[in-house]
């Protein structure tokens, strides 16, 4: 069990390249199995979740090789349509294998997915969409059995614009004969990136990034070389970090369009923001004002993946903030730990009422999930004294050595 030890009270200064987005890479790695030929993914981040995904591919006969930061995937010798629980329990994104496996193998048997404990995380929308595409599905003995013998293009309406379901259905539909339309599709940048990746492999996809995605089936997808978008959540995490500590930092690689809700909030709080299509600079000379009302929403609303970090910022902002979590019901676990550091937070159903205090005090705290863990690191950066964040493996799922990035920006933080 590794820990991060943080000396609080240092302002952040400097420039950092934002790494590639994990949430874009995971479905893309799954989609790679549909290519006849090698897929090369450049600037791939070496995160635990990415390795869990390549382990899944390798378990069914794909060969994934790393050359520095390039991931090369060959799927010529797939020998299995079954993914065991020992793989799926590690990562929620294992569910992404359903669409590509149905497309290539005509069937799939996948154990129920695991992942961060941030709420119920059902998969009903994935299964509903697949059924609309003609897949026969049985759920028994902890496995989802999918038979795609009668798959056909169709119109699918999602009751909620789920990111994962939209991605799974795009992948399932891309090689079906005819036109599939997904209504009420998710609009996140990672959806557009997956569409761009599939298009580069020869797919015909229109409307990604809007609520209606149209997919004209194509018989064969070919190998491709691809670079994914940068991680808007990591970018946002470090922008918020600077809001907490003060200072001036520039994050390069993530366009402002991917983080408009956050940037607008930070501006309202008093931060100076200078952003364009490739970088964002934040400058904070004084304590930020509390934001009275923050509610997580689907894109382009405020992202749930930045809620814990934003909540942390509110603990020492001037005033009171009410934060509503509308996507994942157990994403307030961080509050118990922040209260240990001196935060004034009251929880009511899916709302956190945060009254800003002058400062937090360093403490020994536990990361309970990926983004909550990142929030605690930020709390430590701004706190008086020393903070130890335990259970760093949660944070490692989404941030490759977060301490190296933050140290580049002037933080005093070490892993031991
Ligand atoms: C993805 C992201 C995750 C992010 C989330 C929301 C990846 C790998 N993960 O997760 O980091 O927090 O989007 O932006 O990209 N839902 C259902 N039934 C389903 C599917 C989802 O009810 O079949 C609900 C979920 O419980 C949740 C909401 O829909 O309340 C959003 O989930 P979804 O958009 O599917 O998130 P993920 O794809 O799991």
Asked whether residue 194 carries a pLDDT value surpassing 70, the answer given is yes
Confidence of residue 330 (pLDDT cuts 50, 70, 90): confident
For residues 80-89, give the mean pLDDT. Answer: 92
pLDDT digits 0-9 by tens, 22-45? 999 999 999 999 999 999 999 999
For residues 107-121, give the mean pLDDT. Answer: 77
Predicted local distance difference test score (pLDDT) of residue 251: 98
Beta carbons of 97 and 56 less than 8 angstroms apart: yes
To which residue do tokens 């979740």 refer? 49
Beta pairing class for 293-295 and 320-324: parallel
Task: Output the residue whose Cα is nearest ligand 1's atom 3.
Answer: 305
Tell whether omega for the bond before 3 is within 30 degrees of 0, i.e. cis.
Answer: no
Predicted local distance difference test score (pLDDT) of residue 113: 84
**Pocket flag, ligand 1, residue 387 (CB < 6 Å):** no
Task: Output the residue whose Cα is nearest ligand 1's atom 2.
Answer: 23
pLDDT digits 0-9 by tens, 246-271? 999 999 999 999 999 999 999 999 99
Catalytic residue among 40, 44, 62, 116: 116
Q: Which class is 22-227 in CATH?
A: alpha beta
Kindly give the number of the ligand 1 atom that is closest to the alpha carbon of 303: 14
CA of residue 47 relative to chain centroid, distance: 12
Which of 86-100, 175-189, 332-346 has the weakest average pLDDT?
Answer: 86-100
Phi, psi of 246 (to 5 degrees): 85, 170
Asked whether residue 1 carries a pLDDT value surpassing 90, the answer given is no
Kindly give the number of the ligand 1 atom that is closest to the alpha carbon of 167: 38
Confidence of residue 118 (pLDDT cuts 50, 70, 90): low
Confidence of residue 120 (pLDDT cuts 50, 70, 90): low
Average pLDDT score, the chain? 96
Asked whether residue 116 carries a pLDDT value surpassing 80, the answer given is no
Tell me whether residue 235 is one of the annotated catalytic residues. Answer: no
Nearest to 180 by CA among 253, 129, 232, 116: 129
What are the sequence ranges of the domains in the chain? 4-19+230-415, 22-227
Q: Which of 20, 121, 331 is the best mutation target for the ligand 1 pocket, counting ligand atoms within 8 Å of the beta carbon and taking the most?
A: 121
Nearest to 208 by CA among 236, 244, 234, 181: 181
Asked whether residue 323 carries a pLDDT value surpassing 70, the answer given is yes
Q: What is the pTM of this model?
A: 0.97
**Pocket flag, ligand 1, residue 279 (CB < 6 Å):** no
3-state helix, strand, coil in the chain (%, to 5): 35, 30, 35
pLDDT digits 0-9 by tens, 361-404? 999 999 999 999 999 999 999 999 999 999 999 999 999 999 99
Nearest to 30 by CA among 52, 53, 9: 53
Asked whether residue 119 carries a pLDDT value surpassing 70, the answer given is no
Predicted local distance difference test score (pLDDT) of residue 269: 97
The DSSP bridge partners found for residue 40 are 72, 225
pLDDT digits 0-9 by tens, 387-397? 999 999 999 99
Q: Ligand 1 centre from 407 Cα, in Å? A: 32
**Pocket flag, ligand 1, residue 93 (CB < 6 Å):** yes
Asked whether residue 112 carries a pLDDT value surpassing 90, the answer given is no
**Pocket flag, ligand 1, residue 165 (CB < 6 Å):** yes
Q: Which fold has domain 4-19+230-415?
A: UDP-n-acetylglucosamine1-carboxyvinyl-transferase; Chain (3.65.10)
Domains 4-19+230-415 and 22-227 share a fold: yes
Alpha carbon distance 303, 410 (integer Å) = 27
Tell whether omega for the bond before 232 is within 30 degrees of 0, i.e. cis.
Answer: no
The DSSP bridge partners found for residue 274 are 281
């Amino acid at each position: 069990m590794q820990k991060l030890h943080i000396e609080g009270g240092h302002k952040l200064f400097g420039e950092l390249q934002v790494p590639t987005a994990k949430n874009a890479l995971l479905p893309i790695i799954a989609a790679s199995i549909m290519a006849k030929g090698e897929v090369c993914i450049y600037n791939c981040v070496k995160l635990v979740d990415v390795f869990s995904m390549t382990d899944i591919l390798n378990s069914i006969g794909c060969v994934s090789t790393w050359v520095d930061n390039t991931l090369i995937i060959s799927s010529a010798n797939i020998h299995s349509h079954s993914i065991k629980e020992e793989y799926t329990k590690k990562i929620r994104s294992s569910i992404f294998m359903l669409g590509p496996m149905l497309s290539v193998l005509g069937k799939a048997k996948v154990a129920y997915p695991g992942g961060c404990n941030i709420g119920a995380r059902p998969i009903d929308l994935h299964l509903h969409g697949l059924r609309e595409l003609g897949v026969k599905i049985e759920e028994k003995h902890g496995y989802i059995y999918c038979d795609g013998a009668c798959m056909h293009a169709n119109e699918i309406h999602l009751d909620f614009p789920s990111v994962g379901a939209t991605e799974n259905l795009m992948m399932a539909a891309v090689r079906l004969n005819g036109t599939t339309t997904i209504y009420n599709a998710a609009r996140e940048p990672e959806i557009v990136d997956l569409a761009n990746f599939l298009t580069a492999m020869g797919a015909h996809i229109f409307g990604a990034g809007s609520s209606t995605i149209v997919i004209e089936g194509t018989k064969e997808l070919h190998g491709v070389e691809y670079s994914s978008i940068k991680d808007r959540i990591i970018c946002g995490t470090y922008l918020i970090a600077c809001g907490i500590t003060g200072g001036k930092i520039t994050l390069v690689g993530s366009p402002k369009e991917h983080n408009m809700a956050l940037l607008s909030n930070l501006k309202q709080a008093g931060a100076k923001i200078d952003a364009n299509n490739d970088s964002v600079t934040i400058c904070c000379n004084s304590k930020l004002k509390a934001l009275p009302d923050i509610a997580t929403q689907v894109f382009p609303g405020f992202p749930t993946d930045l809620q814990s970090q934003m909540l942390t910022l509110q603990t020492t902002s001037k005033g009171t903030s009410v934060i509503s979590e509308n996507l994942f019901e157990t994403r307030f676990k961080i509050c118990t730990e922040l209260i240990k550091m001196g935060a004034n937070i009251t929880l009511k159903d899916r709302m956190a009422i945060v009254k800003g205090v002058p400062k937090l005090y360093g403490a020994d705290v536990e990361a309970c999930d990926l983004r909550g863990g990142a929030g605690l690191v930020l709390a430590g950066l701004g706190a008086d004294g020393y903070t130890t964040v335990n259970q760093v493996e949660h944070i490692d799922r989404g941030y490759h050595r977060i301490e190296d990035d933050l140290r580049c920006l002037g933080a005093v933080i070490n892993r031991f």
